[in-house]
Amino acid sequence: MKLHQLKYVHEVARQGLSVSAAAETLHTSQPGVSKQIQLFEEELNLQIFQRNGKRLTGITMPGQIILKLAANVMFELDNIKRVGDEFSKVESGTLTIATTHTQARYKLPAAIQQFMLAYPQVKLNLHQGNPTQVTDWVATGEADIGIATESIGQEPRLVCLPCYEWNRSLVVPKGHPLTQAPLLSLQDFAHYPLITYDFAFTGSTTVSKVFHDAGVTPNVVLTAIDADVIKTYVNLGLGIGLIASMAFDEKRDESLVRLDCSHLFPQSTTYLGMRKDTFMRGYLYDFISMLSPQFNRSAIDEVFKITR
């Protein structure tokens, strides 16, 4: 069994069962890839790919399993390489962060700026997506850490650190009747068209549950993936917006008024997730500390010790 064979098989699957495409991205020849896959299948005494004559048409059941295991092995090998970089004091490399819009736009910038100054040699990648994608990217190793709310805690391959708590605010145009209300109630929501996050987003399930339990049916006229879009539409007078409090910027959003809702909804927690088997490079610890100062190196190690 050769490492190349694992890579080849993995890449062929990733390229949608195309040997030629895989050979391309692997900077090698098609026949080479073809041959090695055959040898590999021969050694294991099974077919990984279904073939129709000379065309690859699917992945067999054992193939599925093998691909998964192969991905694991390659991840571990990456870990080994990282140990090398780490201890040779070359504090360079890549840090890929998967996160949602709100985090990327309002919470991460401070930590990222600080990090880039401390580690100018480290290349930063931001993968932006919805919480499910974030979880997935981290689980498959495409991203080093993921930052999102709730759903990231479900994936058993990940370790989760609670980063910070947050709640929601209502944003309305200046002079809106609700700005006169003494204390906002859930019932107030029903009287105005509501604009809020996509329901694929976590937090939203929390929100919808609160409304449901209170017997209030909000009139959701528009859902968006990010707070900036929501605020834009609120500005246009199309409704009132329910967003994460941190997504309100006193200066930039001076045409809007923020009404705190923390008495109406339970707090949500933003988690930071990593694969349990990630090798913790020095700058990973530091990044986490910058984002969430209560986690120093030993606190993080402690969490890993408990979970994995």
Partner DNA sequence: CCATATTACGGCATGCGTAACGATC
Partner DNA sequence: GATCGTTACGCATGCCGTAATATGG
Q: Which does 77 bind (CB under 5 to 8 A by kind): a second copy, DNA, none?
A: a second copy
Six token digits for residue 256:
């809007």
**Could you say whether residue 308 binds a second copy (CB under 8 A)?**
yes
Which of 11, 18, 201, 281 binds DNA (CB under 7 A)? It is 18
Q: Which does 43 bind (CB under 5 to 8 A by kind): a second copy, DNA, none?
A: a second copy
Give φ, ψ of 293 to 5 degrees: -60, -20
* Distances from the Cα of 107 to the Cα of 11, 228, 248, angstroms: 35, 14, 11
If the CB atoms of residues 87 and 199 are measured against a second copy, the closer one turns out to be 87
**Could you say whether residue 25 binds DNA (CB under 7 A)?**
no
If the CB atoms of residues 30 and 232 are measured against DNA, the closer one turns out to be 30
If the CB atoms of residues 54 and 89 are measured against DNA, the closer one turns out to be 54
The interface with a second copy within residues 243-302 (CB under 8 A) comprises 277, 279
Distance of alpha carbon 41 from alpha carbon 66, whole angstroms: 10
Six token digits for residue 40:
């590999």
**Could you say whether residue 85 binds a second copy (CB under 8 A)?**
yes
Q: Which does 171 bind (CB under 5 to 8 A by kind): DNA, a second copy, none?
A: none
Please say whether the beta carbons of 274 and 137 come within 8 A: no
SS (H, E, C) 272-296: EEEECCCCCCHHHHHHHHHHCCCCC
**Could you say whether residue 51 binds a second copy (CB under 8 A)?**
no
If the CB atoms of residues 72 and 204 are measured against a second copy, the closer one turns out to be 72
Distance of alpha carbon 146 from alpha carbon 136, whole angstroms: 9
Cβ 256 to a second copy, closest distance in Å?
44
**Could you say whether residue 297 binds DNA (CB under 7 A)?**
no
Q: Which does 279 bind (CB under 5 to 8 A by kind): a second copy, DNA, none?
A: a second copy
Taking CB under 8 A as the binding criterion, the range among 79-87, 144-152, 194-202, 219-227 that sits at the site for a second copy is: 79-87
Which of 25, 38, 187, 262 binds DNA (CB under 7 A)? It is 38
Strand partners, 58: 50
Binding track, positions 54-93, relative to DNA; x by CB under 7 A? xxxx------------------------------------
Taking CB under 8 A as the binding criterion, the range among 44-52, 145-153, 177-185, 189-197 that sits at the site for a second copy is: 44-52
**Could you say whether residue 20 binds DNA (CB under 7 A)?**
yes
The residue ranges that bind DNA (CB under 7 A) are 2, 4, 17-20, 27-32, 34-39, 51-57
